[in-house]
Structure 1
């Protein structure tokens, strides 16, 4: 069924439309929630919250973006609210981080240096949850800046700047840790 038709039916309160939305997007919503929360139970709670909230929230949705993009926005908001309430910022899962690593470090750095994925996770954990989720959506989920601008309700230039700052932070974090490790090695010998 066409997204515009699903949207019309969803705004009309159709359970069938909600079911179609669930079938099409629940796996992506769960995946994003898990990436942000790093906990399966919390991600499942977010998934349920998003789809419980969707019938009411859709009334304000103008249809200027895809339904999937709109659901990502609901998911990011729900995750950020939960993280703020718990005052926790979790790390991203190591799995599928290659694209984030390549964007943050450059493709050649992975081959030329002894790369430590745990160190990268620690660096990513230092970022605010919103920056981690932006990196994930851009680099691992391959969303474009326009979609991110819609999800985060920010201008594209702001998204680009935040992505750049996040990558620079991660690059500097890793560089500092490597330099400290080299100094410690030189001190021992």
Structure 2
């Protein structure tokens, strides 16, 4: 990114190759929409170019990237109000991954249950879960990306997992 900042725009392609899948995963876990997630990834890379002068090189590139990325969905919601519609079937297909029919059905039920549970979480709880569990960022990286303390990250993850656990236990008792 320091080379891009210095004017070597060819390095932007390398950054895209290295990080677009992780960004797509972040957005997909937040929105569960393939096309929306792809659009959001493009917007992040546009912002990287636009705000390249803000990258100092002192922290990790990923932290800076997710700091930019976390604001993109909110701007998209303001523009078109369609970001939070989930495609449960697409998510179930993704989780099932071509498994046997019975396993696929069970995974689809699990995906629907997870989808419903994630949807009920506050955006700040959903965001830290996606960053920590799906994007595998460390708590200090998440804290830097979100401009909060590491302790706050730990508390949010703990509370979000507790809320999910309650929802899953409640749903299991209904079966």
> Structure 1 length normalisation: TM-score?
0.71
2:11 is aligned to 17
Residue correspondence of structure 1 range 37-76 to structure 2 within 5 A: 37-76=31-70
1:168 is aligned to 162
Cα gap change, 1:90 to 1:143, in 2 (>3 Å): farther
Aligned-partner Cα distance in 1 for 2:10–2:83: 36
Residue correspondence of structure 1 range 19-168 to structure 2 within 5 A: 19-83=13-77, 86=81, 89-90=84-85, 93=91, 117=110, 118-168=112-162
| Greater Cα offset, 42-51 or 71-80 | 71-80
> Structure 2 length normalisation: TM-score?
0.76
Aligned-partner Cα distance in 1 for 2:58–2:12: 19
Deviation at 1:88, TM superposition (A): 5.2
Q: Which runs of 5+ in 2 are unaligned?
A: 96-108
Cα gap change, 1:174 to 1:59, in 2 (>3 Å): same
Larger-Rg structure: 1
2:105 is aligned to none
Cα gap change, 1:78 to 1:36, in 2 (>3 Å): same
Aligned-partner Cα distance in 2 for 1:76–1:88: 13
